Amino acid sequence: MGRLFGTDGVRGVANADLTAELALGLSVAAAHVLGEAGSFEGHRPVAVVGRDPRASGEFLEAAVVAGLASAGVDVLKVGVLPTPAVAYLTGALGADLGVMLSASHNAMPDNGVKFFARGGHKLADELEDRIESVYEEHRTGAPWQRPTGSGVGRVRTYDEGFDQYVAHLIGVLPNRLDGLKIVLDEAHGAAARVSPEAFARAGAEVITIGAEPDGLNINDGCGSTYLGLLKEAVVQHGAHLGIAHDGDADRCLAVDHTGAEIDGDQILAVLALALREQGGLRSDTVVATVMSNLGFKLAMEREGLAIIQTAVGDRYVLEEMKRHGYALGGEQSGHVIILDHATTGDGTLTGLMLAARVASSGRTLADLASVMERLPQVLINVPDVDKSRVGTSAELASAVAEAERELGSTGRVLLRPSGTEPLVRVMVEAADIDQARAVAGRLADAVKSSLG
């Protein structure tokens, strides 16, 4: 069996890959593993459980709650809230673990189970591996040790989580948003209530789209993966900016007043300069991934800021930030981590901070984002090749070296094996889009001939 845990929990088609039995079993296993690791010593354990609005989240939530309670864990059900809200509440309430049911930006039929450790932090790889092995061991026959009588977990609804999370968001803002008109696209997802409430309490005039989840329409032609509706709405309403979340609201993309997209790299650039001005950008360093646009790197260097680049994935960004105490990091996709105020990417917090910068500076988002020029970026997926040989093919290395000589300091090349599919991603950046396309095409041909 392949590894159940991916880079962001256990995910798959609900009721096919991700069944009630699997969700229940993983929850029991998590309770046992975290208990063995000493997380529950000396007290009765408590878990915070939340979900996005997907229809399948209803039965999966029931399975997770049943599993935890059967293992002797008391459960606080916070209902439909963003992933970062569940992480925050896990820490704020002193809970021993948190569980979020969501497949983020995936289509509605998918769902996922994500665990948080005490403090609201993502589980370390070794704990996930241990949960998986314990789950497998008991799935194939070894009986669980089950509490009885007063030892079983108690379950209650915790509606106060909504206001606690919104109050936290408002409390960390450096300034109010009075005078701003903002369009919010909630992707019919987990932030459909939280985000408009937070922006309104912060003083903004709020217009919402994609804020009527019915369990079936999450991420359906809206949200951070489909910015068309938001661009139209911002221009139509004469708004100062627009903010788009994904289904579980751990990411944020934006649109300026002209309807132009502002991606995660540009958001990072704006927030980095704002944080430095406020004295909060520790070591004058931003953490990003190898997929960040070269224009971002050049802009930060020009501003005197250092960049550390990690492998693709917000968990790798977070690990690097925690290891060295950096304050800001993120991905081009809109996962932005502001570590002083969140333990994971938080799309609502990111959007609020971006809007706060617009309000305090008196400048448009377009003007603020112009600190970096997004260089043309071409990405080609080359399928049906032996991705394991990317780093060992002399022929391919020669083709890459030739491409890098041609591009010089105004471009770059990145070859990356897919983590889940038999393909290699070829990414080329250059000052000129035609040159980027030509170089990417030649490299894609070289990948096919070298690794095919």
Of these residues, 102, 104, 333, 450, which one is catalytic? 104
pLDDT at 420 (0 to 100): 64
pLDDT in tens, 7-24: 778 999 999 999 999 999
Interatomic CA distance for residues 239 and 207, integer angstroms: 9
Q: In the structure, what pLDDT confidence band is assigned to residue 312 with cuts at 50, 70 and 90? A: confident
Return the residue matching tokens 């919402």: 208
pLDDT in tens, 409-451: 889 999 988 766 778 999 999 988 999 999 999 999 999 988 8
Q: Is the pLDDT of residue 30 over 50?
A: yes
Instruction: Bin 334: left if φ > 0, else alpha if -120 < ψ < 50, else beta.
Output: left
CATH superfamily ID and name for 377-451 = Alpha-D-phosphohexomutase, C-terminal domain (3.30.310.50)
Q: Is the pLDDT of residue 184 over 80?
A: yes
Report yes or no: 337 and 84 within 8 Å, Cβ to Cβ. no
pLDDT in tens, 45-68: 999 999 999 999 999 999 999 999
CATH superfamily ID and name for 163-369 = Alpha-D-Glucose-1,6-Bisphosphate, subunit A, domain 3 (3.40.120.10)
Is 248 among the annotated ligand-binding positions?
A: yes
Q: Which numeric CATH code is attached to 5-159?
A: 3.40.120.10
What's the Cα-to-Cα distance from 231 to each of 213, 241, 362, 445, rounded to whole Å? Answer: 20, 9, 22, 36
Query: pTM, whole model, 2 decimals?
Result: 0.92
Domain borders along the chain are 5-159, 163-369, 377-451
For the residues 256-284, what does the mean pLDDT come to? 97
Q: In the structure, what pLDDT confidence band is assigned to residue 83 with cuts at 50, 70 and 90? A: very high
pLDDT at 212 (0 to 100): 98
pLDDT in tens, 193-206: 999 999 999 999 99
- Asked if 450 is an active-site residue, the reply is no
Is 17 among the annotated ligand-binding positions?
A: no
pLDDT at 1 (0 to 100): 44
Is 246 among the annotated ligand-binding positions?
A: yes
Report yes or no: 49 and 65 within 8 Å, Cβ to Cβ. yes
Is 125 among the annotated ligand-binding positions?
A: no
3-state secondary structure the chain: CCCCEEECEEEEEECCCECHHHHHHHHHHHHHHHHHCCCCCCCCCEEEEEECCCCHHHHHHHHHHHHHHHCCCEEEEEEECCHHHHHHHHHHCCCCEEEEECCCCCCCCEEEEEEEECCCEECCHHHHHHHHHHHHHHHCCCCCCCCCHHHCCCEEECCCHHHHHHHHHHHHCCCCCCCCEEEEECCCCCCCCHHHHHHHHCCCEEEEECCCCCCCCCCCCCCCCCCHHHHHHHHHHCCCEEEEECCCCCCEEEEECCCCEECHHHHHHHHHHHHHHHCCCHHHEEEEECCCCHHHHHHHHHCCCEEEEECCCHHHHHHHHHHHCCCEEECCCCCEEECCCCCCCCHHHHHHHHHHHHHHHCCCHHHHHCCCCCCCEEEEEEECCCHHHCCCCHHHHHHHHHHHHHHHHHCEEEEEECCCCCEEEEEEECCCHHHHHHHHHHHHHHHHHHHC
Q: Which amino acid is at 370?
A: S
> Is-same-fold flag (5-159; 163-369)?
yes
And the tokens for 183? 């369009």
